[in-house]
Structure 1
Amino acid sequence: MPDTSPAQRLDRLHRWAAECHGLPSHAIRLRLAAGDASFRRYFRLTLPDDTTRMLMDAPPEREDSHPFVAIARRWRAAGLPVPALHAVDLDAGFLELDDLGDTPLQHCFAGNEAPDTLAWHERAMALLHELQNRAGPDELPAYDTTLLGRELDLFPEWCLNAWLDLAVPPGWETLREALIDSALAQPVVSVHRDFDAMNLMVANDRLYLIDFQDAVAGPISYDLISLLCGRYCRFPPARFGAWVEAFRQRAVHDGRLPSTLPPETFLEQTQAMAAQRSLKVLGIFCRLTLRDGRAGYLERLPHFLAHLETALDGLAGHDAFRAWLDETFRPALTARLAAAEEAST
């Protein structure tokens, strides 16, 4: 039977952690460390010798932690930097993990063109190569037509209909089909699915992967796009193109991409992937606001709209959708955000 309140779950988590270490409850300390866009909460556990661990509280009626545990074990066995699992109770939804500190990668950024920002992106791309080279995708769910389409449909359902009260635009179905086809044409690798700076922790000057429970077997460019077109930075086309080409060359060298794939074709595939992800995020952020009552997501919508516009500039066709985006969607978004801000003051 589910616990009826966060306080009850916290008390149960406290007792579980103490039992895992053979200690009385009063001998350990727990404090809230973080929450995320799901129903998971994270608490920092401090043991009597001042060793710290991270406790994940994922109510099983709302969050299935089986994929996280299975992937964590496989990826760690493959030599990837993921937190070790020290205790697991999937029935309760409790996990004890390594404490990786409080520094997600975006805290190391100092502006789009700062040397440290660029260097950390280079390091993150190196980690992405490791992920794709070491972790086979065979045991992951497929990032197939159904899933890609379901993600794209978040845009008309939650951003257009639920938040802006706009009709589905001309050219939407054509664009939707083209983006799915482009994704499915790419080689299949292990895809973290949210390889954004917030899910890369910096500990002891090393990057670690977290929040990988939604990993799938899918397009090789998806995680690259998650990083380069994420929520914290926007890079000029020349830098973006140079990074995409460097990624392509390394992937060809490692055997993840065929040497016969022209650079311009892979660049276009990454732009299509960027458009797919931007549309998905626009829908998800509206859903998090409207359905889940989460704050702090609406102000990020213009950032991802800019990602979407840049991505579409790199794709041929879709003129009707592009015109609608400029003439109808952007003004409606601007007006709705202004109204929401005014209502909150």
Structure 2
Amino acid sequence: MKYSDKMHEAIENLLLEKQGTSKAEVRVKAMSSDGSIRRFWRVESGAGHRYVAVAPAKDAGEKECAEAVSSWKIGSHLQQVGVSVPEICGFDPRHYLLVYEDLGDVHLQSLIIRLDLNNDQDAVAAREYYRKTIDQLLTLQCDGVRGFCQDWCWDTPRYDRELMLERESGYFLRAFWQGLLKQEVPDGLIDEFGMLAEHVSGIPIDYLLHRDFQSRNVMITNGDARIIDYQGGRFGPLGYDLASLLIDPYVDLPNWFQRELFDYYHLQLSGMSGISKDEFYRQYLLLAIQRNLQIIGAFAFLSNVRGKLFFKDYIEPAVRSLTILVAEQMAVSDTPVCTVLAGVLKKARDILSEQ
């Protein structure tokens, strides 16, 4: 039996078991998957119910199967504690198949890119969407961490120095600087990345981290913000997911709007944490730099190695964003940690402008 036929049958059987839906009523259609290698299907039943099914690709390895289990367990937990995630219909452990509520096709990104934030009316609409999203993010971070079990994490149980050096700054170095731009590693850059990771390692990791909290992982359904792709959840610091949302190259928010949303987040946070705005901003900048390094590495890898050219257009905005963050960190901190990186980014912008 073909892989697609086998998965269609598994979807039908799961809905029959969980919802009492007959196989004749189920219609299954493949969906695209952005940067993921997982397989997605849109499912409709005769009763008008709509679902999304997701499973590892054919011949997936142990990690991909573990990721599917994490998606089921973390999603069930988040749903239980009141985070607005898709309602889970069922999980088939034989095929690592998860079926959950279909939230539609409207990402936060698709709404924001239609708006002109210099227009007052559009800015009001964008502000409402982002405030709803931030409210859900805080629920995930603060309520989601309660009762969260690190055994559910398929990847690593916490955001730590090793992850930063290997999959953020190291990713930037390998996939973007050396892989895409074909440049030699300048003296001092690796030491600087180590120093950056050391500073970030001092930030408390007492919260739940989504780790890919950007506009394409927030669905707007009936006016509400709903969170998807949470299977990378682990213990981590507060500012990382906020940075993911605000510096997101998919929407390229202007700096003034980012700062307004940062202020809104901290205002809501102030009732839950005693951290001052100035200290939180210093932490935020370090975390935003780490996240931005990861973004650039990922977009370079996906476009240059995987051939997913959709991501290529977002590399230059991401490099510009990182340039701004590095300059800001150097301006507000007594211990600037990215002086070599600043030169690397200047050269990267020159190379990209010539391509």
- Residue type matched to 1:268 in 2? R
Tell me the equivalent position of 1:299. 313
- Residue type matched to 1:196 in 2? Q
Structure 1 stretch displaced more, 25-34 or 200-209: 25-34
- 1:126 equivalent to 2:135? Answer yes
Number of residue-to-residue matches in the alignment? 325
User: CA contact under 8 A between 2:14 and 2:91: conserved in structure 1?
Assistant: no
**Unmatched 5+ stretches in structure 2:** 151-156, 331-335
- Residue type matched to 1:190 in 2? L
Q: Tell me: CA distance 1:184–1:252, structure 2 relative to 1, closer, same or farther (3 Å).
A: farther
| Residue 50 (structure 1) aligned to one of 45, 48, 51 | 48
Tell me the secondary structure at the aligned position of residue 75 of structure 2.
helix
TM-score (norm 2): 0.85
Q: What is the rounded CA distance, in whole Å, between the counterparts of 2:116 and 2:199 in structure 1? A: 32
Tell me the equivalent position of 1:206. 224
- Residue type matched to 1:228 in 2? L
- 1:325 equivalent to 2:345? Answer yes
Q: What is the rounded CA distance, in whole Å, between the counterparts of 1:294 and 1:239 in structure 2? A: 30
Q: What is the rounded CA distance, in whole Å, between the counterparts of 2:307 and 2:31 in structure 1? A: 20
State the Cα distance separating 1:232 from its structure 2 match. 2.6
| Residue 11 (structure 1) aligned to one of 2, 5, 12 | 5
Tell me the equivalent position of 2:214. 196
Tell me the equivalent position of 2:154. none
Tell me the equivalent position of 2:116. 111
1:3-42 → structure 2 map (5 Å cutoff) = 8-22=2-16, 25-42=23-40
Percent identity (aligned): 21
Q: What is the rounded CA distance, in whole Å, between the counterparts of 2:266 and 2:203 in structure 1? A: 12
Q: What is the rounded CA distance, in whole Å, between the counterparts of 1:274 and 1:144 in structure 2? A: 15
- Residue type matched to 2:116 in 1? G
- Residue type matched to 2:40 in 1? Y
Q: What is the rounded CA distance, in whole Å, between the counterparts of 1:182 and 1:247 in structure 2? A: 22
User: CA contact under 8 A between 2:250 and 2:314: conserved in structure 1?
Assistant: no
1:146-225 → structure 2 map (5 Å cutoff) = 146-151=162-167, 152-188=169-205, 189-225=207-243
State the Cα distance separating 1:27 from its structure 2 match. 3.5
Q: Tell me: CA distance 1:236–1:27, structure 2 relative to 1, closer, same or farther (3 Å).
A: closer
Tell me the secondary structure at the aligned position of residue 83 of structure 1.
coil
User: CA contact under 8 A between 1:112 and 1:118: conserved in structure 2?
Assistant: no
Structure 1 stretch displaced more, 295-304 or 103-112: 103-112
- Residue type matched to 1:312 in 2? V
Q: What is the rounded CA distance, in whole Å, between the counterparts of 2:225 and 2:179 in structure 1? A: 38
- Residue type matched to 1:67 in 2? S
User: CA contact under 8 A between 2:106 and 2:219: conserved in structure 1?
Assistant: yes
User: CA contact under 8 A between 1:275 and 1:307: conserved in structure 2?
Assistant: no
Deviations 1:76-95 (A, max 9, x none): 11011111221211331211
Q: Tell me: CA distance 1:183–1:90, structure 2 relative to 1, closer, same or farther (3 Å).
A: farther
User: CA contact under 8 A between 2:192 and 2:340: conserved in structure 1?
Assistant: no
- 1:275 equivalent to 2:278? Answer no
Q: What is the rounded CA distance, in whole Å, between the counterparts of 1:21 and 1:247 in structure 2? A: 40
Q: What is the rounded CA distance, in whole Å, between the counterparts of 1:286 and 1:267 in structure 2? A: 28
User: CA contact under 8 A between 1:184 and 1:219: conserved in structure 2?
Assistant: no
Tell me the equivalent position of 2:60. 61
TM-score (norm 1): 0.87
User: CA contact under 8 A between 2:78 and 2:85: conserved in structure 1?
Assistant: yes
